[in-house]
Amino acid sequence: MTPSLRVQVALPGPFWQPLSYLLPDDVANQATVDLQAWSQGWLGWRVAVPFRNQTKIAVVVGVNQDDGVDASKLKPLLHKLDDEPLFNAQDLAFLHWAASYYHEPLGEVVMAALPKRLRVGKPLSLPGVVTWQRSVLGQTVSVDQLSARAHKQRALWQAFCDDQAWSSSQLNAAFSQWQPLVKRWVEQGWLVVSEGACLAQKTLPASVRHSLNEEQAAAVAQVQASKGFRCFLLDGVTGSGKTEVYLALIEQVLAQGKQVLVLVPEIGLTPQTAARFEAYLQQPVVALHSGLNDQERHCAWQVMRRGEAQVMLGTRSALFTPFANLGLCILDEEHDLSFKQQDGFRYYARDLLIRRAQMLQIPVVLGSATPSMESLHNAQSGRFGYLRLSQRAANAQPPQLRLLDVRGDRLQEGLSNKALHQMREALAAGGQVLVFLNRRGFAPVLLCHSCGWQGSCSHCDANLTYHQASDSLKCHHCGFQQPKPKACPACGATQFVALGQGTERLEQFLTQQFPTHSILRIDRDTTRLKGSLAEKVGQARDGAADILIGTQMLAKGHHFPKLTLVVMLDLDQGLFSVDFRGAERMAQLLVQVAGRAGRASQPGRVLIQTHQPEHPTYQQLLREGYAGFAADTLRDRQLANLPPFGFQLLVRVEAVDSNQAVAFLEAIKDLLLAVPVSQPCEVWGPVTAPMAKRQNRWRYQLLLQAETRGSLQAWWQAVAADVYAHPLANRIRWSIDVDPQETS
């Protein structure tokens, strides 16, 4: 008797090996002797399977492997969902590798690579994008027939009068509250609804060409000269034109008929970025980011898989998209933390992208003005190609950094008189000023004036931040919010003191100080609505505001031509961070914010208000810039065997009962210490996480460190089975963070 044919499927859930299913009876009987060909009909296909008493959507990741499960225990799968596989063998190999490197169930990884619509079983083919257009009747209606006072209505109708079809996302980008009007006009017969192709026909912006300077051309030539896989670090100061290098490279790869994937940080993807790419390349660029709805994501995914578009510009999750014919990967702002997924499947998009390029044997380019120590080390050791752009475009001067020693000075709302004076001068000279403060809200602490009670979050080990706009207390870690108490919960007194500065308070103070100047605050609170960040950044760029107040969301990518002075407040805290990467992060932030200034004709100045003017980190940064700082930092890291000279794995635990959390980690530690290891491996902890309690759970962690990725993986692999079998493993929340970025 022949053994029954079976397939292995990945489905979401904590399944450490794929589940096996038998084939449906009618299919099994047809199975030919050609197993190779037969497996092609299953591998990577989407199937519906019975699971418990429900039906689940899964992806076939293995064929006829003997997993030792008795055939009598298996159920037959129900059916295929599509006429073709969604993933090819290369895609699957990559997903397998990601799952094993990050110790994530394969099903979760496969689902991360699928748009939601496909995860829940929607058909692969897209219904097309709904658009609205003027009807024959509508063409007889001119704007003048609408009420003269209905400005919004007139503007919207004018848009349709150009006889262009508008999709909901296009309307969303240009208008607010258009739905009721469009609905009414459809009912009146002025507009007709139609369904177009999934990739809406965009009109391309006018062609913009540029020439490369010597450095840029050399960088492009080096990448082009590489064969197969090679990773390059493009280390270019702000304003040195990294994008021009990307575009030249992309153009070459497109000419070979291959596709390109460009990854950017979460908030770095603006319509302007995509438009700039389209203007140069003269072909549609497919964007993939959190602002899209399910159907748009599905469309983007499908268009790349089908090879109907050549360029994708996306945030970290775009790296899982199956491409028809990928020829080049680019990752911009390489140092940016948003490439690390911090919850659920904790992957690092930078590292996965490199691995993917390696598996496909294609080049990958990482760009940054402030590269991570990991990438710099790889570049210096020759693992990566090292490309440098040291000149700013159009002879723009680099910003000059100055420390503003405020020791002993009287500070008003955190600002020194010297800083205010400099701001006045810069404004008087017609410049724009940015005040950088990386803390939103009004004040980080609210204190009772009579008893000292302070608002702290009942779910977390953190203070509540006072927000004046909503007159409430908010926890910035779990989202908890309560109205500001009328009276102190402890003593009943009604007077409170707001301690410390946030951007809200700074805005209030600067409004008093500069009554004749316009002020624009850009932080998460003022940009909550969709599209409002782009809108505010646009205002800032056009010079609509004299004074900008911003948190770190303003540090990324944007440039403000009229900006001549940047004042940075409260950077000092980065000097004393518990995390060994604290100084690196601070230096990156400083250099990135400084890079916002003086990109046009006027040189920019950056003032760093500090109580630690002699601190070596500042001194090093001022004297030798980021490169000098990086050299020092790498030396320190090497002495301490810290990344990039060592590799880390963090076991994180969250439990309502802190004893269980510690007991579980102690058990893991005992297991680890019992493993005979050939190379130096260390384990630290358990210790409490940076925030000991969050959302009512106590958080502890255990840090593993080893000299190589391989020995670290082997060490964990040796105990993994025992850890998963531990009685506490199923009773508390825990996760593994490979290459953690926040370890303190």
Q: Which residues are annotated as a binding site?
A: 448, 451, 457, 460, 475, 478, 488, 491
Residue 208 DSSP SS3: coil
The letter for the amino acid at 50 is P
- Taking the complex as a whole, the smallest distance from the CB of residue 103 to DNA amounts, in Å, to 14
* Cα gap 392→398, rounded to integer Å: 7
Q: State both tokens at 637.
A: 């890291």
Query: Do β-strands 129-134 and 166-167 pair in parallel, antiparallel, or remain unpaired?
Result: antiparallel
Query: Is 463:445 a contact under the CB 8 Å cutoff?
Result: yes
Q: In what order do the strands lie in the sheet with 6-10?
A: 19-22, 6-10, 54-63, 46-51, 79-80
Q: Whose Cβ is closer to DNA: residue 68's or residue 180's?
A: 68
Q: Whose Cβ is closer to DNA: residue 232's or residue 347's?
A: 347
- Taking the complex as a whole, the smallest distance from the CB of residue 20 to DNA amounts, in Å, to 4
- Taking the complex as a whole, the smallest distance from the CB of residue 599 to DNA amounts, in Å, to 46
Residue 358 DSSP SS3: helix
- Taking the complex as a whole, the smallest distance from the CB of residue 460 to DNA amounts, in Å, to 20
Q: Whose Cβ is closer to DNA: residue 77's or residue 387's?
A: 77
- Taking the complex as a whole, the smallest distance from the CB of residue 332 to DNA amounts, in Å, to 33
Query: Is 734:654 a contact under the CB 8 Å cutoff?
Result: yes
* Cα gap 580→573, rounded to integer Å: 13
Show the CA angle centred on residue 704, arms to residues 700 and 708, nearest 5°.
155
- Taking the complex as a whole, the smallest distance from the CB of residue 728 to DNA amounts, in Å, to 9
Query: Is 282:203 a contact under the CB 8 Å cutoff?
Result: no
The letter for the amino acid at 717 is Q
Residue 177 DSSP SS3: coil
H helix runs in 328-416, sequence order: 349-360, 373-380
Query: Do β-strands 445-448 and 54-63 pair in parallel, antiparallel, or remain unpaired?
Result: unpaired
Q: Whose Cβ is closer to DNA: residue 63's or residue 337's?
A: 63
- Taking the complex as a whole, the smallest distance from the CB of residue 6 to DNA amounts, in Å, to 8
Q: Return residues touching DNA (CB under 7 A).
A: 12-15, 19-21, 49-53, 67, 69, 73-75, 730-731
Residue ranges of the annotated binding site for Zn(2+) are 448, 451, 457, 460, 475, 478, 488, 491
Q: Whose Cβ is closer to DNA: residue 4's or residue 577's?
A: 4
The letter for the amino acid at 520 is L
Q: Whose Cβ is closer to DNA: residue 45's or residue 246's?
A: 45
Residue 669 DSSP SS3: helix
- Taking the complex as a whole, the smallest distance from the CB of residue 210 to DNA amounts, in Å, to 49
> Which residues 6+ apart lie within 8 Å of 112 measured at CB?
317, 320, 345
Query: Is 596:557 a contact under the CB 8 Å cutoff?
Result: no
Q: How many helices (H) and strands (E) does the chain have?
A: 21, 32
Query: Is 559:239 a contact under the CB 8 Å cutoff?
Result: yes
Burial class (CB in 10 A: 0-12, 13-18, 19+), 478: middle
Q: Whose Cβ is closer to DNA: residue 29's or residue 53's?
A: 53
CB-CB neighbours of 355 under 10 Å: 18
- Taking the complex as a whole, the smallest distance from the CB of residue 316 to DNA amounts, in Å, to 21
Q: Whose Cβ is closer to DNA: residue 69's or residue 673's?
A: 69
Query: Is 689:740 a contact under the CB 8 Å cutoff?
Result: no
Query: Is 666:723 a contact under the CB 8 Å cutoff?
Result: no
Q: Whose Cβ is closer to DNA: residue 50's or residue 710's?
A: 50
- Taking the complex as a whole, the smallest distance from the CB of residue 13 to DNA amounts, in Å, to 5
Burial class (CB in 10 A: 0-12, 13-18, 19+), 672: buried
Q: What beta strand segments (E) does 491-562 contain?
A: 496-499, 519-522, 547-550
> Which residues 6+ apart lie within 8 Å of 259 measured at CB?
253, 304, 307, 309, 310, 311, 312, 323, 324, 325, 326, 327
Phi and psi at residue 711, to the nearest 5°:
-70, -30
Q: Whose Cβ is closer to DNA: residue 13's or residue 710's?
A: 13
Q: Whose Cβ is closer to DNA: residue 20's or residue 648's?
A: 20
Q: Whose Cβ is closer to DNA: residue 11's or residue 220's?
A: 11
The β-bridge partners of 556 are none
- Taking the complex as a whole, the smallest distance from the CB of residue 19 to DNA amounts, in Å, to 4
The letter for the amino acid at 163 is D
Cis before residue 12, ω within 30 degrees of 0?
no
- Taking the complex as a whole, the smallest distance from the CB of residue 40 to DNA amounts, in Å, to 22
